[in-house]
Structure 1
C-alpha cells in the first residue's frame, strides 16, 4: 500500500501542487531568442528543478525534451511527475548507468530533441558540476542553455540541494540564458565557465 501511494498517487499530487503554486503566482519570463530547429542542452540546479517545466514550455510550447533522471526509486517518482508535464526520461546519472545515459543523451540531441540535465544531481554536493554536461555538449556540438528561477516568496527545505518551492500569491522570475557554445573550450575551462553562469539568478 505504501509503495502504491508513493509511485502511483504521489506523482499526481505533486503535479497538481506545482500547477496550483504557479497558477497563483505572477510569472515574469526573461528569455532570449532560440532557434526553433536547433536542439539544446538545458541545465538547472537540482534544488530549482520544480520550476523548470513551466520555464521550458513557456519558451518552447511545442518542444520535445527529455531529461536525465537517476535510476533510484526517487528518480522513478520524478520520472512520473515530469511525464505528466510532457517531459520524457533518460534513466541514468553520474553514479549509475552513466555511460549508457551519455550515449542515449547524445542520440536524442542528434535526433532533434532537447535534453535537460541537473549537473549537481542526484546526490550533490549542492552546486557541484559533474562533467557529463560538458562531455555531451562537446561530443554533440549542442549549445547549453541555463534555466533558473527566483520566487519572491518560497519555502526552502533543509535538504542537500536546499530545494526551493514557491509559496502562493507572490511573483516568480524565470530566467533562460543565451545559448553557450563550449565546443572550442578546454574541458575544465568550459566547466568553470558554465558553472559560474549557473550561479547567477538563483536563490542562495
Structure 2
C-alpha cells in the first residue's frame, strides 16, 4: 500500500505532467488524422488500443474524442502518477500489470486486472494498454491478444509521435515529446483474435503486432520528415 506522502507526491507529479502534456498538445501542429481512421469513427464497438510503452506519452492526444476509455496502470509509484494524469483527462483506470513471473502474478494484480478489462470491454468501455513484455522493449507480449480473444473485441495499434522530442536511452527507449513541433497520429486496421486461437496462434499474433507497431511508428516519423 502506498504511503500518504508518496501518494501526495504522485498526485503532484501527475498534475504537473498532465499540464505539460496538455501544453505540448496545444503547441504541436498535428497532421490531420485520416477521416474515419479512428476506431470510434469506424464503429461503436469498444476496442483495445495498443502502443509501445516508451511511446505512450501522447496517448491522450491519440484518444481525443473517444468515449468510455479505461487505461491499465501499474501499482508502482509511476503507475500512480499515470493514474493521476488519466483521471484528470476524464478517463478511468484499472490498476494492475502483466508479468512473466508466476510468483509476482498476485502482487501485480495481473489476474483481477485482466478480468476487469474483459468485463469493461464487454460492457462498452475501450481499453488502452502498452504492448511490451515487461522490461523487454519493443517485443509485444501475449496479454492484449489473450484479452482480445476473451472479449471478442478488436485490437487497434497506434503511433502518436512528434518531430520535437527527446529520445532516451532507457529500458523502453522512451520518447519525451517537446512543445512547438509537428505531430502525427496513425491508427492501424482492426485486428480480431479467434476465440479458438491456441497458444501458438496467440504467439504468432503477438510477433505480428511487434512488426506492425514498429512499421506504424516508422511511417509516422517518416511523415514528419525525421527518421528515428
TM-score over 0.5 for the pair: yes
Q: Equivalents in 1 of 2:178, 2:38: separation in Å?
A: 29
Alignment-derived partner of residue 150 in structure 1: 161
**Which residue is 1:100 aligned to?**
112
Note if contact 2:158-2:187 (Cα within 8 Å) is conserved in structure 1: yes
**Equivalent pair of 1:151/1:173 in contact (CA under 8 Å):** yes
3-state DSSP of counterpart to 1:108: helix
* Cα 1:102–1:5 shift into 2, 3 Å: closer
Q: In the TM superposition, what is the alpha-carbon distance from 1:2 to its structure 2 partner?
A: 6.3
Unaligned 5+ segments in structure 2 are 100-107, 222-227
Structure-1 separation of matches of 2:33 and 2:172? 24
Q: Are 1:197 and 2:208 matched, yes or no? A: no
Structure 2 counterpart of 1:79, from 78, 83, 98: 83
Cα distance in 1 between the residues matched to 2:129 and 2:179 = 27
Bigger radius of gyration among the two: 2
Are the equivalent residues in 1 in contact too, given 2:57–2:177 (CA < 8 A)? no
Corresponding residue number in structure 2 for 1:118: 130
Unmatched tracts of structure 1, length 5 or more: none
- TM-score by length of structure 2 reads 0.81
Pairs aligned (count): 200
Of structures 1 and 2, the one with the larger relative CO (CA 8 A, separation 6+) is 1
Deviation string 1:74-123 (CA, Å, 9 cap, x unpaired) is 111111111111121111111321111111110000000000111216x4
Alpha-carbon contact 2:158-2:216 (below 8 Å) kept:
no
Residues 29, 175 of structure 1: 8 Å contact kept: no
Judge conservation of contact 1:137–1:143 (CA < 8 Å) in 2: yes
Distance 2:121 2:84 in 1: 22
The equivalent position to 1:15 in structure 2, one of 18, 30, 52, is 18
Contact map agreement 2:139 2:207 (CA 8 A) in 1 = no
Aligned to 1:128: 139
Of residues 89, 103, 109 in structure 1, which corresponds to 2:121? 109
Which of residues 54, 69, 81 in structure 2 aligns to 1:47?
54
Instruction: Please give the root-mean-square deviation of Cα atoms over the aligned residues, in Å.
Output: 2.0
- CA 1:14–1:142 in 2, change beyond 3 Å: closer, same or farther? same
> Match of 1:146, SS?
strand
Provide the secondary structure at the position in 2 that maps to 1:190.
helix
Instruction: Indicate conservation of the 8 Å contact 1:44/1:119, yes or no.
Output: yes
